[in-house]
Structure 1
Amino acid sequence: MMWHKQVTFWLSFLTAIVLICWLLSGVLLPFVAGLALAYFLNPVTTHLERLGVNRLVASLAAIALTLLLGILLLLLVVPIFGAQFSAFLERLPEYIVKLQNMATGEGARWLKSVVGDRLPNIQQSLSQLVSQGASYILGFVQSIWTGGQALLSLFSLVVITPVVAFYLLNDWNGMVAKVDSWLPVKNRDKIRELAREMDRAIAGFVRGQSLVCLILGAFYAVSLTLTGLNFGFVIGLVSGIITFIPYVGSLTGLLLAGGVAIVQFFPDYSMIGLVIGIFVFGQFVEGYILSPKLVGDSVGLHPVWLMFALLAFGYLLGFLGLLLAVPLAAAVGVLARFAIRQYLQSPLYTGEDEGEPDAGSEVR
């Protein structure tokens, strides 16, 4: 009966939290962003505190440095990114049409030799498909761009989020101790163990993968810009940012950069190969150097589960859901593995009655 009561209580608590997040999703964004920032900066603040710096001063220093870096980013990167991104959206349909003509136009003799007289029908169908796809992609990206600007208002980004992060960061140890005191006494050790496992999974992915995205984004943006690729800076930066979705970032960047390179440099195959080689090299560095060193193998987030979490939470809660998707996916993964371990040790799996004595006790 006690086990059933605990399950009912925690499921009810989780349902209430999800319902509150759904009802208040429009105003929770700066607070969730502040919590994420405090969690991200807590190791730095704790390290400064161990060196003898007061916790309040360490929290102020961490937030001030983050704000300074954010302002520099806004002044240096955002104007270039915004200009290139707007120009890229305007010329995206033109690039798609040029790629279509290169693939199925008069010069595509190889395709005519394969399909024969059906080429006109294929061209018409492909033209409609490309036009619809281009319109969908353009509208989707523009909605994200305008929606992000509406959600991440200047007031919430510059004022509310840093203030929330500072208070949470300064009171972090006290909040953790208070929550720890609320844990059920009988199951406190097990809950602490699960919480530490969740923290390792979330920290390993969020902090490690953030550094991977930053390094790859800078590498792709600089490399593609140096090749002279049109919109190379925005393509490289976007490819690096969405690298946290396994395989999606590199594949998206490769398709975008490869398509622009074909339209811009064809028939200079060396330049097209150079652009593709940049992403191949970036994938090699990510897979064999950056991810093993910065993220590690103990995260436990399967790529399919991560993509599902991003889509599901993003659909339910919008941009707030995208912020919550990774930590919630890591936490659910830890709980799922714990539930499986408990099941494998239970009579439901072994088929033994808990009250049935084992063979050794019968002999004695």
Structure 2
Amino acid sequence: MNITDSQKWLILACLALSIWLLMMLSPILSPFLTAILLAYMGDPIVDKLETWKLSRTQGVIVTFLALTAMFTLVGLLLVPALVEQIDQLVKLVPMLITYVKTTVIPMIEVRFGLELAQLDWLQLSQQLNWGATGDVAKKLIGNLTQSSFAVIGFVGNLVLIPVVWFYLLRDWDDLIAKIGSLIPRYYYKTSSDIAGQCHETLGAFFRGQLMVMLALAVIYSVGLMLMGLDLGLLIGLLA
């Protein structure tokens, strides 16, 4: 079956409209997209558990609890340490500005014969020196609590993502089968083959990238902290 030019333009228009709708609805769709990504990443684990004679629901419960516990543990361990190191970084900003003003800029001017524009370093230091991270956190929390809608939205997303994630993970295979049933039979085999190849490639890419990121974060953070660098954890995670 050949697709006419008018049909191609119609498909492009529908695609453009879909992208525009996704952009406009992104604040509402973000928790659902996050849950879809988590379900997509967790489905292979559930499938593996099913080969161990567990039911789909049992595999989902085990996967959900294990991943939730892992995320919670990582958050409890990393967040306090990261807040402390960000606090140290913020306190180092005035020292860095002083070093740039008194050492780096004169060295560049002498070496290259340039005359760099003079900045108001005092004002810049005051703007960048936000104070301790705790003060920043208090200001953010204060601004957040001033808007009841923001608080409701934050709490709603916090509750909605795990719920949607759980049910998507449980019904993932059924959803894929339902989507497949919507495809016209003429295109089903080709679409199924392409989707299968995309699934294998993207799944392997995401899992590989996450494993590499985790390994590098651990290696960099542990190595820098063993060397005695104060901001070793922060730099390692950012790297």
TM-score range, shorter chain: 0.7 to 0.9
Q: Secondary structure at the match of 2:229?
A: coil
- The separation in 2 between residues aligned to 1:75 and 1:222, in whole angstroms, is 18
Correspondence for 1:175: 175
Letter in 2 for 1:174: D
| TM-score, L = length of structure 2 | 0.78
User: Helix, strand or coil: the match of 1:186?
Assistant: helix
Q: Which runs of 5+ in 2 are unaligned?
A: 131-135, 145-149
Does the 8 Å CA contact 1:221/1:232 hold for their aligned counterparts? yes
Whether contact under 8 Å (1:100, 1:127) holds in the other structure is: no
2:133 match: none
Report if aligned partners of 1:85, 1:234 keep a CA contact under 8 Å in 2.
Answer: yes
User: Is contact 1:49–1:58 with CA below 8 Å preserved after alignment?
Assistant: yes
Q: 1:4 to 1:102 in 2, by over 3 A?
A: same
Classify the secondary structure of the residue corresponding to 2:54. Answer: coil
Q: Could you give the per-residue CA deviations for residues 237-275 of structure 1, whole angstroms, max 9, x where no partner exists? A: 111xxxxxxxxxxxxxxxxxxxxxxxxxxxxxxxxxxxx
* In structure 1, distance between residues paired with 2:161 and 2:100: 44
Match of 1:206 in 2: 206
Q: Which residue of 2 aligns with 1:19?
A: 20
Q: How does 1:215-226 map to 2 (within 5 A)?
A: 215-226=215-226
RMSD of Structure 2 on Structure 1 (CA): 3.2
Alignment deviations for residues 275-332 of structure 1 (CA, whole Å, 9 cap, x no partner) = xxxxxxxxxxxxxxxxxxxxxxxxxxxxxxxxxxxxxxxxxxxxxxxxxxxxxxxxxx
Q: What is the rounded CA distance, in whole Å, between the counterparts of 1:50 and 1:16 in structure 2?
A: 42
| Matches for 1:291-330 after TM superposition, within 5 Å | none
Q: Which moved more, 1:36-45 or 1:212-221?
A: 212-221
Where does structure 1 lack aligned partners over 5 or more consecutive residues? 240-364
Q: Relative contact order (alpha carbons < 8 A, sep ≥ 6): 1 or 2 greater?
A: 2
Q: CA deviation at 1:6?
A: 4.6
In 2, distance between residues paired with 1:92 and 1:236? Answer: 19
Instruction: Give the structure 2 partner of residue 39 of structure 1.
Output: 40
**What is the SS of the residue equivalent to 1:27?**
helix
Alignment TM-score, normalising by the size of structure 1: 0.53
Partner of 2:69: 68
Match of 1:52 in 2: 53
Deviation at 1:155, TM superposition (A): 4.7
Deviation of 1:27 after TM superposition, in Å, equals: 1.8
Go from structure 1 to structure 2 and tell me whether the alpha carbon gap of 1:230 and 1:154 turns closer, same or farther (over 3 Å shift): farther
Identity, % of aligned positions = 27
The 1:76/1:155 distance shift into structure 2, 3 A limit, reads farther
- Cα shift at 1:57: 0.7
Secondary structure of the 2:222 match is helix
Across the two proteins, how many residue pairs are aligned to each other?
220
Whether 1:232 and 2:238 are equivalent positions in the alignment is no
- The structure-2 alpha-carbon separation of the partners of 1:16 and 1:115, relative to structure 1 and needing over 3 Å to count, comes to closer
Partner of 1:284: none
